[in-house]
Structure 1
Amino acid sequence: MVFYLPHDCHEVCYLPHDCQVFEEDEACQVFGEDTCQFFEEDDKVITRGKWMPRRKAEALAAAAFVLAASLKRSLGSRSTAFSSAKKSLVSRSITFSSVRKSVALSKLQQQHQQQQFPLPVQPYSYSAFEQWFKAQRWEGKDLALTPSWSWFGISEALNGPHSEWFAGHDMEVVTVVAKHINRFLFMESIMRGGNEESQASLAMHLLILKLLEQDLVSGGRAIRALDVGCGTGWLLQAFALMNKNPGSRISGFDIDIDGVQLAQSLLSQPSAISWPLSPAALGPEQQRQQRQKRQKQRQQQQQQGQQQQQQQLQQQLPLQAPSVFRADLLKLGFGLEADARQELLPEGSFQVVNLGMAVLGEESEAFSVLTRLLAEGGCLTVPVCVRPVCVDGKCSADFRLYRRRGDTLIQEAGGYTVSFIAPLDQPKAGKQYTPLLGSRSPSVGAEI
């Protein structure tokens, strides 16, 4: 058995890692056999001496103050011996299972973090989530990055500092789609890990959806859409909901394999979106299926639990989870084998392409590579640096929308000042790729 003892018998031991650790035989040597008579072989907390075994101490750390009071009474006459023993034990701290204590502390901290991280009620709905989120005391949580409602508040994003981005535009469809996506799920890893750069702001995402709305809706036709640097995958889920056609291929890639696996996992979860989808978020075929099965669903919902309801509704709707794979925009052929490149990123095949990092200019090879992915009439949304890259790796950029018309690439939208990461190792277009843009301004039109 292993027991915890405060560093000083006059102190209070609140947590196991604030205490000295003693094996049973060592404790007997320090405090004498009369103290050891209180030890029980069934590994339970001792009632008289108030010693706590290691396993129980993790669960009963709050009761550790009893130990200090008990030791003060029972060991008062041996304070001198205790002091010398403590010094001896400190000098031999490495021998007292330092590895085991480190592992136990790590486990305790991990359990503490898991207990502190709150989860919203299920099934997900935006209104219920808003009430739940605002009721939490986030400052007291053990999180690497404390969330704020600005991460999730759609109305606040539309009417906040970037309200001019959305002025005069009907944002109803974008709003409905955004409210159906469980953004908290896609932000959880950021709260835990603290890497805020892996996800764009909500206002930025809403701007992208606003610019691409017509191309994503596309009259219900099947399309191919690509998000380059997709992060946790929120934007991919939004692309899929806005398009609604089960024949579409919505995909994204990122350079980090762990991030790719995380995005794949999140996009496959039933809790990623709220079910059932409202009519505004459904295509005509999906609305027809919903009407036919509505009565049957009501009967089934009375007999099934919430999780089963979510899974069944997801199976009934012809929505497919977007695909995510690993690739590198800055490498030749995206760092893929020829067959994989042709399957995943064929040139001239995408109606929608979005880039999640800034390019250094229209003459950069990264920009050229992306434009060659566009099908006839396809569009590219991309931040283009208008100032040098700062020391933090970001640049002030103009967020633009380009469209391919025959042999010409035209800038249809721009003037949105943003800040994006801009890798400095972007080569200019060389022999491998012919720049799609000529020397003329894309706002006027450029020949290939």
Structure 2
Amino acid sequence: MFHKILIANRGEIAVRIIRACKELGIRSVAVYSEADRDSMHTRLADESVCIGPAASNLSYLNIAAIMAAAELTDAEAIHPGFGFLAENAGFADIVIESGLTWIGPRPESMRIMGDKVTAKKKMADAGVPLVPGSDGAVKDIEEARAIAKKAGFPIIIKASAGGGGRGMKVVHSEASLANAFQMCKAEAGAAFGDDTVFIEKFLVEPRHIEVQVLGDTHGNLVHLFERECSLQRNNQKVIEEAPSPYLDPETREKICAAGLAAAKAVDYVGAGTIEFLMHADKSFYFMEMNTRIQVEHPVTEWITGVDLIEWQIRVAAGDKLAFAQKDLKIKGHAIECRINAEHPFKFTPSPGTVELYHAPGGRSVRVDSQLYTGYKIPPNYDSMIAKIITHARDREKCIRRMQRAIDELVILGVTTNQELHHRLLANPAFQKGEFNIHFLEKWLNQMHL
């Protein structure tokens, strides 16, 4: 096992990884920007190193500074968390070439799955269902028209190197295709330095279902069932749960098998997530793979009893998985609510000083957060400041437990989205599990807030 791990991240995920290190008897190194000097992760780690100014490109994305911190502290491995450099294969290469251990998948797996066109080809070869559309990059508008005609409108044009909702255009008719095609290519080139695009059939009201996988360096690979991630706004998830309330056992078995096939196709090692879109008839299609730990990993930990961060570290250290697929069972239901420092309905950021913080507690309530009374939330980073996760024997009980936890949460001094969660959890459609990826935005529009 490692003696010391550097965490190349901040916020609640850095705190989560530091806690896992402590429980494994591993010393931890926190890196921080000048804006995060007083953050919780710098206080909990055994050592901390400032790596630059507040701007992410000068600190958390500064590979040279992070590697210098690793050398300075004699760290043996680097855990990237999520976001920032977590899916940067070039960074993984540098870590490995420097003689350190990368706590994540092989860089080549990251490269294949990080390029949407290459990933689609790999998934097609592996027999993983794909949304009808182009086989690869679309070269020009004539090819785009032919593909759109075959798939049928509406279609969606996507940047191959895109993510987070950028470089995407939904097209409802041939009349608007040419303009949307050129706009998407231009946006992709400006945002990602790569104007490659591809086309898919646009599923009108799908659900977003993802499968968690975990593999070791000895050829063992398992899935840890699925998560329901359809409650999202602008492609940002708000509430996640496991298992999905929409799946029957047969569909669950099929989609989890497809997730495993996708991971096997790239010889996957570590924790990763295969994301699918599911149609109303329960047909499903590969969307992308996240080659890192997910924000919503705690719901999977609740229902399986597997500590995913611990196993990321153990796998990187060369350990074999201590369980096989037959050993994994779904136990109860889990829900996660993302708590953001933002207006609950206008979604404007709300940085500032936390004047009072009280976390909910009680049976089967987990809070992952970097908050404390007096903490100054910087304006420079993502607005997520906490995650509340509840677990219960069934979904109805889990919702009630989450409602109680949200009611108990106290964060004064900044505005949060607590009221959004309060109303969503009470919504009859949510309570019945009757929603898709467009539900939240439609519901918000109907509220006229």
Which bracket does the TM-score occupy, shorter chain normalised?
Answer: under 0.3
More strand by share: 2
TM-score (norm 1): 0.23
Higher relative contact order (CA 8 A, sep 6+): 2
Structure with the greater alpha carbon radius of gyration: 1
